[in-house]
Amino acid sequence: ASKRQIFLRVILPAILPGLFVTLRMNLFGAWMVVLIAEAVGVGSGLGQVTMMARNTFNASLVFFTMTLIGLTGFLFDQALRLIQRKVLWWIGPSNIGAL
């Protein structure tokens, strides 16, 4: 087999599951950094709204924005899982959750 065939048929399928796990974990970290940046330095966004609601003791708005933040993060993760399921077609659906 050529080097290209070895890469495409052996190496790439072997590293893709770990790559998707890393992507999902980094997505979580990136989402948290965006929210912190919005809360501290940017004049708009969910982080800023949460900080404003916290400073004005508006508990219902704080819980609403926290729910929105959690739901958005969950939907991002589910979208990445769907892409993972399509790309890693050779791994069974029961094993995708384990990755």
Q: pLDDT for 15-47, tens place per residue? A: 998 898 899 899 989 988 888 888 887 777 888
User: Phi and psi for 2 in degrees, rounded to 5?
Assistant: -75, 170
Tell me: pLDDT of 98 over 90: no
Average pLDDT, the chain: 87
Q: pLDDT for 48-91, tens place per residue? A: 888 889 999 999 999 999 999 999 999 999 999 899 988 888 77
**Contact yes or no for 96/81 (Cβ under 8 A):** yes
For a pLDDT cut of 90, what percent of the chain falls above it?
Answer: 49
Tokens of 75: 């939907």
Number of H helices, E strands in the chain: 5, 0
Cβ-based burial of 47 (10 A; exposed 0-12, middle 13-18, buried ≥19) = buried
Tokens of 96: 């995708």
